[in-house]
Structure 1
């Protein structure tokens, strides 16, 4: 070892004891190649009687040096926290697993019981996960509370291995009466994709102890997001969920919204740069209105959310006393939309919580966005197929158990022929002839299949006219169906409402669903519904927010629009 290196190490060692049993070589930039290069370090470890934390991050460690350190660790039973991030810069990828195995062996021999293991920023790939396989399965990690593997290049293969290892650790720890209660899991920038994320989701579900999950920038789309959502429901103490820069789209956001509705301790949600979009934002608004009582931070930035949907989110924050930060930057609000959002937040005395909107992308170009969405849907389906997923189509809806229902394969209808005939070719005459059989329309508005349900609703509304008998029958039937659809959870009711607005052409949706030909009856039936008790004030606020911002889409029925907007304004003031 060169004399300059020895002097550097001696100087560093004089500053390594930081109290609380911590020995730190953090950020010294030492090149530790062999046993000779770590003689002083090893001596420090051996002489530290109550070593509880060892910080080696920011140096570069070779195989022989790792073996020497591991030998020193064999007597350190009280060691609990290993901060070993950024530890292998410039090393061959084949060296890293061997070094990790040595260090893990030292910990296991010592009988250490770790609470923190940080191996972030070590590009070790799937083989590196194999390097910590035995350690993570062992009793040394039954007490683990934080596992940090950010930016390690694990990939799908590494994610699967890690999931298997964590599952085995959970099984063994339960058998020994010391169940693994991992609280913090960090694995951003690892290219886990759907398969890796779904494998880890199964392990998370078994644990049920997570409080923080950070998995940003992993190439996960709706299939993997849905799996993670199902797992999060079983982690009741979850406080922080960071999935920034993955691809939710509507399907993933619906699943996450459903899961969040079951959690009471969440303080931070980061779904920035996740393509949440309008329908997803409205689903999140439903959960904000009904749950998440201690939420402090919400990030829905860069999600292609338009003004109306952003305002619905803002309205849903009214009863969030702990709120500190709301990020809706980088969306598609336009100048007027940005100002409207600022005003809406200021009206709730939350203006200072709103992050700058300086990166807003302006109002979207409808034609360009439609083309982009078609390509994205095709890309998602291709990705699902290549990863072995059947996927879900744009009509999927979240069941109460967190799973997905596929609208393209509903159970066979048991409707009488007269009802089926009406649905195939609706007319006022057929509706009147149904009489009491109109109740058979209720099973056709299944909350799990929102597009089909709303389609039936709009077919009925399209028959509205001023002829008394027809008008009464249409409104009674419309009430019966909409009452059922809005009587479910807030999330399901908001999804029905957003689906209705998408099919009417008022709200930008995803996919290739054809909009209905708008007629006055659609709006006049809604005007009637606004005055009924089954349509809550917050439903009226949602409708008013979106319809008033998109009157241009309803210009073919201008007089009916005026009546509906007027009724909504009155209801919002009640």
Structure 2
């Protein structure tokens, strides 16, 4: 080694942090190619008694250097935390698995019991996962609590290998009476896609111990999201869910909403840039209404959410005493919608928690509808008089029809808040008050249907916040249902009265 290289290494090592059982070479930018280049580092590791944490992130380690470091770790049975992110910059991808196997074998040979393993930002692909596969299956990881593999490019194949390793680790540790209880899992930017997500979901469901899951930007859409949502339900201690920049759409969001109903310890939800859309936002609002008592942060940014749906979400956080931040930036509110959202948050004395709306996309443009007359109807005095505030009367053959409608409405609106919000959301789409996904056609609305809904609004089983939801959408779509104006105004009046009753 040249004298100037030795001097540079000596200077870097002089900045080494030692204390509290931790030996840190973090961010020193050392280029460690061979055994000679790590002589002093190896000596420090060997001499450190009671080593519990080793930081090597921010350096670049070659195969020979890794093997030399591994040799020094063979006696470090107390080692618990390995911070080895960003450790292979400039290395051939084929070198990394060999280096990882050497380090992993040393940990297993030493009998170390890891609690934290961070290999983020190493871009090692599926082969890199193979490099830690045996370590993850070994007794050294039976005690693992935090696994961080952010930005490693694992791909579908790596995701499957990782899922199988975690499953095997749980199986073997359970056989010894102390099952793996992984708490934190971080694997953003890994191109896991649906297949990788589904494989990991099966492992997560088996674990049941997760408290934080971070899987942003993985190209996961509805089918993968649904599998993950199902797995999350089996992890009751979850506090943080971060699936930013995947593609939920309505179906994925509904699946996540169903899962959230079972998770009372959630503090942070990040579904930003997940295309939750308005129907999905309404489903999230329903879960906010009936649960999530200690929620602190909610991110639904860049989700194609319209003004009315955003206002429904805002109203749903009213009784969340620990709420600190709500992000609805980058949606489709328009200037008036942004102002309305700010106003409602200020009125609830929660203005400070609303994130910036500077990237709002503006109101969505109206799209041509082949069924322009879908909400047309004809006013009929006979229909209008058929439904009274205190019941139903009129022609005998129509009484049965409306009673059936009431029965169905009561059943749908007396279940969970999520069930009733989903029904109301679908109803709003059918009525042309909410843009839905896909090719769902609006129905031809007749006054009797609105009057039937008006009757339901006046009943005890119709909660005030249901009325608030309907009123919000109707007030933001003043031109809708014009051909049923009389019945529409009666419904609007009933909704306003019901909303007023809650204050």
Could you say whether these structures have the same fold, taking a TM-score greater than 0.5 normalized by the shorter chain as the test? yes
Q: Give, in angstroms, the shift of residue 521 of structure 1.
A: 1.9
Find the aligned partners of 2:8 and 2:218 in 1 and give their Cα distance: 39
Matched residue, 1:517: 444
Q: Is the 8 A contact 2:384 2:447 kept in 1?
A: no
Find the aligned partners of 1:469 and 1:519 in 2 and give their Cα distance: 17
Matched residue, 1:527: 454
Q: Is the 8 A contact 2:12 2:30 kept in 1?
A: no
Q: Give, in angstroms, the shift of residue 528 of structure 1.
A: 1.6
Q: Is the 8 A contact 1:503 1:516 kept in 2?
A: yes
Find the aligned partners of 1:144 and 1:4 in 2 and give their Cα distance: 41
Matched residue, 1:266: 266
Matched residue, 1:106: 106
Matched residue, 1:466: 385
Matched residue, 2:53: 53
Matched residue, 2:231: 231
1:167-215 deviation per Cα after TM superposition (whole angstroms, max 9, x unaligned): 0000011112221111100000000000000100000011111000000
One of 402, 411, 429 as aligned partner of 1:475 = 402
Residues 257-296 of structure 1 correspond to what in structure 2 (within 5 A)?
Answer: 257-296=257-296
Q: Give, in angstroms, the shift of residue 75 of structure 1.
A: 0.5
Find the aligned partners of 1:508 and 1:212 in 2 and give their Cα distance: 33
Find the aligned partners of 2:293 and 2:117 in 1 and give their Cα distance: 32
TM-score, normalization by structure 2: 0.94
Q: Is the 8 A contact 1:283 1:495 kept in 2?
A: yes
Q: Is the 8 A contact 1:464 1:474 kept in 2?
A: no
Residues 21-36 of structure 1 correspond to what in structure 2 (within 5 A)?
Answer: 21-36=21-36
Matched residue, 2:173: 173
Find the aligned partners of 1:541 and 1:292 in 2 and give their Cα distance: 20
Matched residue, 1:565: 492
Q: Is the 8 A contact 1:294 1:320 kept in 2?
A: yes
Q: Give, in angstroms, the shift of residue 19 of structure 1.
A: 1.4
1:403-434 deviation per Cα after TM superposition (whole angstroms, max 9, x unaligned): xxxxxxxxxxxxxxxxxxxxxxxxxxxxxxxx
Q: Give, in angstroms, the shift of residue 67 of structure 1.
A: 0.4
Structure 2 residue 256 is matched with structure 1 residue 256: yes
Q: Could you tell which deviates more after superposition, 555-564 or 234-243?
A: 555-564
Find the aligned partners of 2:245 and 2:480 in 1 and give their Cα distance: 32
Matched residue, 1:152: 152
Structure 1 counterpart SS, 2:54: strand
Find the aligned partners of 1:129 and 1:193 in 2 and give their Cα distance: 16
Matched residue, 2:390: none
Find the aligned partners of 2:129 and 2:475 in 1 and give their Cα distance: 54
Structure 2 counterpart SS, 1:366: coil
Find the aligned partners of 2:459 and 2:323 in 1 and give their Cα distance: 33
Q: Is the 8 A contact 1:184 1:211 kept in 2?
A: yes
Structure 2 counterpart SS, 1:551: coil
Q: Give, in angstroms, the shift of residue 475 of structure 1.
A: 3.4
Structure 2 counterpart SS, 1:82: strand
Q: Is the 8 A contact 1:120 1:150 kept in 2?
A: yes
Q: Is the 8 A contact 2:384 2:487 kept in 1?
A: no
Structure 2 counterpart SS, 1:159: helix
Moved over 6 A (4+): none
Matched residue, 2:421: 494
Q: Give, in angstroms, the shift of residue 559 of structure 1.
A: 2.3
Find the aligned partners of 1:551 and 1:522 in 2 and give their Cα distance: 18
Residues 379-418 of structure 1 correspond to what in structure 2 (within 5 A)?
Answer: none
Structure 1 counterpart SS, 2:317: coil
Q: For structure 2, which runs of at least 5 residues remain unmatched after alignment?
A: 371-376, 387-393
Find the aligned partners of 2:108 and 2:476 in 1 and give their Cα distance: 63
Residues 433-452 of structure 1 correspond to what in structure 2 (within 5 A)?
Answer: none
Find the aligned partners of 1:13 and 1:7 in 2 and give their Cα distance: 10
1:423-447 deviation per Cα after TM superposition (whole angstroms, max 9, x unaligned): xxxxxxxxxxxxxxxxxxxxxxxxx
Residues 47-446 of structure 1 correspond to what in structure 2 (within 5 A)?
Answer: 47-367=47-367
Find the aligned partners of 1:555 and 1:332 in 2 and give their Cα distance: 24
Q: For structure 1, which runs of at least 5 residues remain unmatched after alignment?
A: 372-457
Matched residue, 2:373: none
Q: Give, in angstroms, the shift of residue 464 of structure 1.
A: 4.1
Matched residue, 1:396: none
Q: Could you tell which deviates more after superposition, 299-308 or 174-183?
A: 174-183
Structure 2 residue 56 is matched with structure 1 residue 42: no
1:115-154 deviation per Cα after TM superposition (whole angstroms, max 9, x unaligned): 1100000111000000001100000001111100000000
Matched residue, 1:384: none
Q: Give, in angstroms, the shift of residue 8 of structure 1.
A: 2.3
Q: Is the 8 A contact 2:120 2:149 kept in 1?
A: yes
Q: Give, in angstroms, the shift of residue 90 of structure 1.
A: 0.8
1:19-60 deviation per Cα after TM superposition (whole angstroms, max 9, x unaligned): 111111111111111100100100010000111111101111
Structure 1 counterpart SS, 2:236: coil
Q: Is the 8 A contact 2:233 2:260 kept in 1?
A: yes
Find the aligned partners of 1:308 and 1:133 in 2 and give their Cα distance: 49
1:220-271 deviation per Cα after TM superposition (whole angstroms, max 9, x unaligned): 0010001000110111110000000000000000000000000111000000
1:267-286 deviation per Cα after TM superposition (whole angstroms, max 9, x unaligned): 00000000000110000000
Q: Is the 8 A contact 1:464 1:525 kept in 2?
A: no
Find the aligned partners of 1:177 and 1:38 in 2 and give their Cα distance: 40
Instruction: Tell me the number of residue pairs that the alignment of Structure 1 and Structure 2 aligns.
Output: 485
Matched residue, 2:391: none
TM-score, normalization by structure 1: 0.82
Structure 2 residue 5 is matched with structure 1 residue 5: yes
Q: Is the 8 A contact 2:30 2:59 kept in 1?
A: yes
Q: Is the 8 A contact 1:342 1:354 kept in 2?
A: yes
Q: Is the 8 A contact 1:189 1:217 kept in 2?
A: yes
